């Protein structure tokens, strides 16, 4: 697949992604039984994952969104810009943050810091993808879909310079 000037090869199929999401949702349904969690999806990249995950969640729950940006084209800039902040009252809530991919972990560290001193009951993270070799922050991601190598991926919500989000599968940069 070509996105702008770059070639990408198939990496995770629609079936693999959907199976994994069912597994993650089963786990969350079990762990949060009898609670009413508040999901917070991190835009833009997690919009497809959040949508498919929520369809498999059978708990009484709410969803809200935060919009952050740390990536330019194919590199983490190190600074996380907040474009839409946390507007929800999270006091005494069980919060589950939905992320598309954890790379350096800068974004997640920044997000998790925002929940400090807000009196949340609990806060956990579900990330579809994680690049263990790239993570530089000491953060705990409780629910992980796939551990992937430190290579750039697009599709299923993830972009290359704004494009390539609109696919059912995930593609890896051709090296």
What are the residue numbers of the active site? 103
- 52-91 footprint of ligand 5GP as x/- string (CB under 6 A): ------------------xx----x---------------
> Does 152 participate in binding ligand 5GP (rule CB under 6 A)?
yes
Among 38, 93, 111, 159, binds ligand 5GP (CB under 6 A): 159
For 16, other C-beta atoms within 10 Å of its C-beta total 14
Separation between Cα atoms, residue 55 and residue 135, nearest integer Å? 29
> Does 153 participate in binding ligand 5GP (rule CB under 6 A)?
yes
CA-derived radius of gyration, the chain: 16
Applying the rule CB under 6 A, the residues between 89 and 118 that interact with ligand 5GP are 99-107
Query: Do residues 171 and 11 touch, judged by C-beta distance below 8 A?
Result: yes
List the helix and strand counts (H, then E) for the chain: 3, 10
- Site size toward ligand 5GP (CB under 6 A) is 19
> Does 158 participate in binding ligand 5GP (rule CB under 6 A)?
yes
Of 5-13, 32-40, 84-92, 148-156, the segment contacting ligand 5GP by CB under 6 A is 148-156
Torsion of CA 131, 132, 137, 139, to 10 degrees: 100
| Coil, helix or strand at residue 12 | strand
Q: Which residues contact ligand 5GP by CB under 6 A?
A: 45, 70-71, 76, 99-107, 152-154, 158-160
């Amino acid at each position: 697949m070509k996105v702008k000037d770059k070639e990408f090869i198939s990496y995770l199929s629609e079936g693999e992604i959907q199976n994994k999401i069912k597994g993650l949702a089963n786990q969350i349904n079990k762990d949060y039984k009898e609670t009413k969690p508040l999901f917070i999806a991190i835009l833009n990249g997690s919009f497809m994952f959040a949508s498919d995950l929520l369809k498999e969640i059978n708990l009484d729950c709410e969803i809200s969104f935060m919009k952050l940006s740390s990536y330019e084209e194919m590199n983490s800039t190190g600074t996380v810009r907040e474009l839409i902040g946390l507007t929800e009252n999270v006091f005494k809530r069980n919060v589950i943050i939905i992320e598309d991919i954890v790379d350096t972990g800068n974004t997640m560290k920044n997000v998790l810091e925002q929940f400090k001193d807000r009196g949340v009951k609990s806060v956990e993270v579900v990330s579809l993808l994680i690049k263990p070799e790239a993570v530089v922050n000491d953060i705990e991601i409780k629910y992980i879909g796939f551990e992937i190598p430190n290579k750039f991926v697009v599709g299923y919500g993830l972009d290359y310079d704004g494009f390539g989000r609109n696919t059912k599968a995930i593609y890896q940069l051709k090296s």
